[in-house]
């Protein structure tokens, strides 16, 4: 069974229901997780990117600029 869920940016998407369903456990996801870029700066630091490159990446990918 598919359910509709709303992402943080307002998009409605279909997600699979979680089986089994019952009155106690309705078989839906109440939380879809973090934003995809929520930990991007941590990953880039571990990959030894320069702080300047991380700042520019966050500026473009975070919706604060246009490529």
| Mean pLDDT value across residues 39-54 | 86
Residues whose CB is less than 8 angstroms from the CB of residue 58 and which lie 6 or more positions away in sequence, other chains included: 37, 40, 41, 64
Mean pLDDT of the chain: 76
Residue 58: the pLDDT is: 65
Residue 28 burial (CB count, 10 A): 14
| Mean pLDDT value across residues 20-27 | 72
Angle at 14 between CA 13 and CA 15, to 5 degrees: 115
67 or 17, which is more confident: 17
Question: In this structure, what DSSP letter does residue 16 have?
Answer: E
* Cis ω for the linkage preceding 20 (within 30 of 0): yes
59 or 56, which is more confident: 56
């Amino acid at each position: 069974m598919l359910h509709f869920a709303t992402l943080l940016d307002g998009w409605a998407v279909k997600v699979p229901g979680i089986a089994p369903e019952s009155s106690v456990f309705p078989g839906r996801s109440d939380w879809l997780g973090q934003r995809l870029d929520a930990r991007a700066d941590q990953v880039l630091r571990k990959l030894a990117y320069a702080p300047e490159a991380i700042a520019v990446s966050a500026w473009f990918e975070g919706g604060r600029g246009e490529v």
